[in-house]
Amino acid sequence: MERTKKLDIAISSALLAAAIVVAALVTPGFLAMRRPDLIRKGPGVTRVALLSEYFPDIKGSVGDTDVYILDSGKPGGSALVLGGTHENEPAGFMAAILFVENALPTAGRLFVIPRVNASGATHADPMEGTPHTFTIDAASGKRSFRFGSRATNPVDQWPDPDIYIHASSGQRLSGSETRNLNRAYPGRLDGTFTEKIAYAVTSLIRKEGIDVTIDLHEASPEYPVINAIVAHERAMPLASEVILDLELDDITMGLEPSPKSLHGLTHRELGDATNTLALLMEDTNPSQGRLRGKTDEALILEGKDELYVRAQKLGRLFVPFDEEGWPLSTRVGRHMAGLEAIFGAFTSQNPGKPLVVGGMPAYEDLASGGLGKYL
């Protein structure tokens, strides 16, 4: 009996020692994923706030993300740009980062949140085999950015319920959707971690009187709502003018009305809960889809995939897809062109509240020359 007890103690001690060694090895990587990416303040940035200024309950948490304010100092409209709602959709947060580092407003105010669900950038989706980071050769040197998850990290919100019930509508969804920020709006004061982030964004819109809110997203090539703007009904006149303006520049973008029966999304709830004109932009992301091949850094940056070329020939996709693929620079360029068109259309429809922004890279320059020149 005594010998068995000693053996048990020895085994337990060995397992504990092994656990300590493993923890020591993985902790630096875990902590590195919790640190935010480098974002440089561009010439138009007048202040960097924290999201907790609009809802103190998230202060000090990983959800307390940076809000970049670009105030022209001249009267005009106001816009909020959201990137990183889903951190496995890199064109959204990269467009927001490029905007922060380059845009220079000359009328009105702009608010940009590049990593609106910063928790999603701290982990990857299980079983997807995606790289944690991708690197761009920038004018300032190599810049690395994290490729994360569409959901809040379970470390920050756990456990998932069997069924997620959207609080204000009663809509019932899969339990994992409780960590999807784009199913949590308009948020709750006493809600989950994800709902509190949504509430903070809603509070920002109300406090600052934001006229237009644009949520930047991507979708897989086989998803029907892709290369499109989804608009709340009050924002449809604005979105319609934007689509026409983009078409004149040979950028094809569809227009989708926000479904009134689908709750929790920015284009529905922010349009209902506030006075903002709520829009969501979708672009094409091969690294996100279910038909893709090897998911590596090259797929994220170059957007080329032989399996998607085959799927296109079989008529399985909702966007063109050839050997040129959908490079990240092209997708970011489409988002930047969309933002520029939105500001122009809002100004034309509201001449007393202009939103005029310079310094943004042109679509043609990004598509042909890449992102590095502007980082």
Q: For residues 346-357, give the mean pLDDT.
A: 98
Judged on CB neighbours under 10 Å (0-12, 13-18, 19+), 182 is buried
Q: How far is CA 136 from CA 81, 140, 298, in A?
A: 23, 10, 11
The string of pLDDT tens digits covering residues 281-338 is 999 999 999 999 999 999 999 999 999 999 999 999 999 999 999 999 999 999 999 9
User: 29 pLDDT exceeds 60?
Assistant: no
Quote the pLDDT of residue 22: 47
Quote the pLDDT of residue 21: 52
Task: Identify which of 319, 328, 320, 321 has the alpha carbon closest to the alpha carbon of residue 307.
Answer: 321
pLDDT band at 126 (very low <50, low <70, confident <90, very high): confident
Mean pLDDT of the chain: 93
User: 204 pLDDT exceeds 90?
Assistant: yes
Quote the pLDDT of residue 33: 60
Quote the pLDDT of residue 133: 96
- Token pair for 344: 């122009």
Quote the pLDDT of residue 26: 45
Q: For residues 17-25, give the mean pLDDT.
A: 53
- Token pair for 114: 């590049």
Q: For residues 99-116, give the mean pLDDT.
A: 98
pLDDT band at 139 (very low <50, low <70, confident <90, very high): confident
Q: For the chain, give every domain's residue range.
A: 1-34, 41-374
Quote the pLDDT of residue 13: 67
Kindly state the DSSP code that residue 364 receives in the 8-state scheme. H
Q: How far is CA 184 from CA 39, 144, 152, 261, 311, in A?
A: 26, 29, 11, 15, 33
User: 7 pLDDT exceeds 80?
Assistant: no
Q: For residues 47-67, give the mean pLDDT.
A: 98
| C-alpha torsion sign, points 181, 184, 187, 192 | negative
What architecture does CATH give domain 41-374?
A: 3-Layer(aba) Sandwich (3.40)
Quote the pLDDT of residue 160: 97
pLDDT band at 11 (very low <50, low <70, confident <90, very high): confident
User: 90 pLDDT exceeds 80?
Assistant: yes
User: 145 pLDDT exceeds 60?
Assistant: yes
Please state at what angle helix 90-102 crosses helix 328-349, rounded to 10 degrees. 60
Q: Which residue has the higher pLDDT, 19 or 227?
A: 227
Q: Which residue has the higher pLDDT, 299 or 13?
A: 299
Which distant-in-sequence residues (6+ apart) come within 8 Å of 367 by Cβ?
327, 329, 330, 333
Residue 141, phi then psi, degrees to nearest 5: 115, 180
pTM to 2 decimals? Answer: 0.92
Helical H segments across the chain, by residue range: 2-34, 90-102, 193-208, 236-248, 271-273, 297-302, 306-313, 328-349, 363-369
User: 34 pLDDT exceeds 80?
Assistant: no
Q: Rounded CA gap, 183 and 333, in Å?
A: 27
